[in-house]
Amino acid sequence: MREQSQPIVIRNGRVIDPSQGFDAIADVVVIGSAVVSIESPGTTELSDGWTEFNAKGKIVAPGFIDLHTHLRTPGQEWKEDPKTASDAAVRGGFTTICAMPNTYPAQDNASVVDALLQRCASEADVRVRLIGAITKAREGHELAPMHELADAGVIGFSDDGDPVMSAHLMRQALAYSSDLDLPVINHAEDRGLVSEWDMNEGPVATHLGLKGIPNSAESMMIARDIVLARMTNGRLHIPHVSTAESVEIIRRAKSDSINVTAEVTPHHLALTQEWVYGEYGEVPNTLTPNAYATNAKMAPPLRAEADRQALIDGLSDGTIDTIGTDHAPHADTDKICTFTEAANGIIGLETALALTVGIAGIGIETVIERFTVGPSAILNDATIGTLRPGMPADITIIDPNAEWQVTSATLGSKSRNTPLLDANVKPRVDATFVNGTKIWDANENGAADA
Ligand SMILES: [Zn+2]
């Protein structure tokens, strides 16, 4: 992480900080690596050596936290590394990312975690937290040393990409999670129902002749895990919720005071199964060469419109606590192939605001809340996702009206696998500060208006 230089006053922005219930035009004063105060506009005089950032017409928010990033390091550095993940993060307004353990080797013991944390500290400009594996090598047979991993600093446990199919192992993991006060994050996909699939089960899959997976493969696993969380008093966090039935089950569990939190991705809030036609969500009269769009393939798959609406409802009523990007970089060779052969997942850090605010039309206040206090509560870390005085100056500045084009030049990731490639989107992240230092500035870096 870089060292910060001069004191800075971020002037005249609309400061939205859900951690303090603050939403007003104000100046944010940063000295060293910390936020010092939020002042009425124009009341702070510049001293010698101070700089200012004109945020008039912009939104000033705490830096975003992503609970669901795939770092691809170690083992697949041709897809992403800590530096490029960090570049992608700051372009999307993220100042903390939490990396999933499906690396090679997996993050299933302290020495692997130590090595990756050290590498991230020297290569990444953003804060990187690691999620440890639930089972050894993520194979689902034997628990990983969860206490050892917790001592090494992991912020939760997951075999993401693969579900823990054994209820017995999941029970044990949840029992340990309550001792450790760290969440177990189980990829909810019951492979006993369907083991191989291409996309959501429904009319689009039938039309395209692709193998479908029904909603119940997700909701059955979530229901099982909630029952186990109740039995063990464990901490369960459900990643990338994608169906209406799942939202309903989680809503009921929360009303029963079970210790469960939930996440939704930007793409499940914004896109549906029709994106597999490759026409930006339109249903073409006849299939075009864009059909079987592998950049619309992910796990869980893009679902039906009714599911998307239920996810938005779940986000607004608080059933869903946080938005996690599931940033999943893949090389061209993983996506320029048949739909069945293609890898699951899309990059998501840079386009998180475009999908949630721009395309799904969700209010920016809600989105900021679920990218700041939502995840910081799950991380049990009140020092991030906030602009309270004394806290690290992780700050995101958003131009709500600026458009930008998603291109190789504007993406920070090493990978290009997004269905929004070449699209003009908004809003735009204008600047991102980490620990008081400006890491990203769209105007200096040539991300001009589209
Ligand atoms: Zn997953």
C-alpha of residue 161 to centroid of ligand 1, in Å: 4
Does residue 18 form part of some domain? no
Average pLDDT for 64-91? 97
pLDDT surpassing 60 at residue 31: yes
Q: Take residue 141 and report the two structure tokens written for it.
A: 């047979």
- The pair of three-digit structure tokens given for residue 426, joined into one six-digit string: 């908004």
3-state secondary structure the chain: CCCCCCCEEEEEEEEEEHHHCEEEEEEEEEECCEEEEEECCCCCCCCCCCEEEECCCCEEEECEEEEEECCCCCCCCCCCCHHHHHHHHHHCCEEEEEECCCCCCCCCCHHHHHHHHHHHHHHCCCEEEECECCEHHHCCCCECCHHHHHHHCCCCECCCCCCCCCHHHHHHHHHHHHHHCCCEECCCCCCCCCCCCCEECCHHHHHHCCCEECCHHHHHHHHHHHHHHHHHCCCEEECCCCCHHHHHHHHHHHHCCCCEEEEECHHHHHCCHHHHHCCCCCCCCCCCCCCCCHHHCCCCCCCCHHHHHHHHHHHHCCCCCEECCCECCCCHHHHCCCCCCCCCCCCCCCCHHHHHHHHCCCCHHHHHHHHCHHHHHHHCCCCCCCCCCCCECCEEEEECCCCEECCCCCCCCCCCCCCCCCCEECCEEEEEEECCEEEEECCCCCCCCC
- Going from the Cα of 142 to the center of ligand 1, the distance in angstroms, rounded, reads 20
Measured in angstroms, how far is the CA atom of residue 162 from the centroid of ligand 1? 7
Instruction: Tell me how far the alpha carbon of residue 106 lies from the centroid of ligand 1, in angstroms.
Output: 15
pLDDT tens across 295-319, in order?
Answer: 999 999 999 999 999 999 999 999 9
Buried b (16+ CB within 10 A) or exposed e, 199-210: bbbbebbeebeb
What's the Cα-to-Cα distance from 412 to each of 120, 299, 346, 363, 409, rounded to whole Å?
16, 23, 14, 25, 8
Which structure tokens are listed for 377? 């509560």
Assigned domain for 55 exists: no
Centroid of ligand 1 to alpha carbon of 16 (angstroms): 30
pLDDT for the residue 444: 86
- Give the separation between CA 400 and CA 429, rounded to whole angstroms: 8
Ligand 1 centre to CA of 186 (Å) is: 8
Q: Is residue 62 classed exposed, middle or buried when 0-12, 13-18 and 19+ CB atoms within 10 A define those classes?
A: buried
* pLDDT score for 450: 44
- Per DSSP, what are the bridge partners of residue 238? 262
**Separation of alpha carbons 131 and 146, rounded Å:** 11
Provide the percentage of residues in the chain whose pLDDT is more than 90.
95
Angle at 141 between CA 135 and CA 142, to 5 degrees: 55
Say what the pLDDT of residue 274 is.
98
Instruction: Quote the pLDDT of residue 426.
Output: 97
pLDDT at 448 over 60: no
Question: Catalytic: 225?
Answer: no
Average pLDDT, the chain: 96
Cα of 240 to ligand 1 centre, how many Å?
7
User: Position of tokens 């009319």?
Assistant: 203
327 within 8 A of 68, measured Cβ to Cβ? yes
Q: What's the rounded mean pLDDT across residues 195-213?
A: 97
Task: Compute how many other C-beta atoms are within 10 angstroms of the C-beta atom of residue 168.
Answer: 9
Q: What is the CATH number of the domain that holds 316?
A: 3.20.20.140
pLDDT-derived band at 284 (thresholds 50, 70, 90) equals very high
Residue 313 lies in a domain: yes
Kindly indicate the confidence band of residue 102, based on its pLDDT and cuts at 50, 70 and 90.
Answer: very high
* Contact (CB, 8 A) for 126 and 440: no
24 within a domain of the structure (yes/no)? no
Q: Which of 23-27, 45-49, 80-84, 415-419 has the lowest mean pLDDT?
A: 45-49
Q: Which two tokens stand for residue 66?
A: 């992503």
Distance 70 CA to ligand 1 centre (A): 10
C-alpha of residue 344 to centroid of ligand 1, in Å: 10
Centre of ligand 1 from the C-alpha of residue 160, in Å: 4
**Residue numbers of the domain that contains 101:** 83-379
Q: Can you say whether residue 83 is alpha, beta or left, with left for phi > 0 and alpha for psi between -120 and 50 degrees?
A: alpha
Measured from the Cβ of residue 143, the count of other Cβ atoms closer than 10 Å reads: 16
Going from the Cα of 422 to the center of ligand 1, the distance in angstroms, rounded, reads 26
Residue 46 lies in a domain: no
How far is ligand 1, taken at its centre, from the CA of residue 226, in Å? Answer: 17
pTM of the model: 0.97
Residue 3 binned pLDDT confidence (cut-offs 50, 70, 90): low
Q: 182 in a domain, yes or no?
A: yes
Q: Which of 198, 326, 399, 430 is catalytic?
A: 326
Domain count, the chain: 1
Q: Which of 351, 411, 415, 389 is nearest to 73 (CA)?
A: 415
Number of Cβ within 10 Å of residue 342's Cβ equals 21
Q: How much is the pLDDT for 202?
A: 97
Confidence of residue 332 (pLDDT cuts 50, 70, 90): very high
Query: Could you tell me which of 288, 289, 298 has the C-alpha nearest to residue 355?
Result: 298
> Cis omega (within 30 of 0) on the bond before 400?
no
Q: Please name the residues in contact with 187: beta carbons below 8 A apart, sequence gap of 6 or more.
A: 158, 159, 160, 161, 162, 163, 239, 240, 299
Tell me the two tokens of residue 379. Answer: 């991380």
Structure tokens at 109: 């013991």
pLDDT at position 51, please?
Answer: 93
Residues with Cβ within 8 Å of 341's Cβ and at least 6 positions away in sequence, in order, are none
What pLDDT is recorded for position 162? 96
Q: Is the pLDDT of residue 446 over 80?
A: no
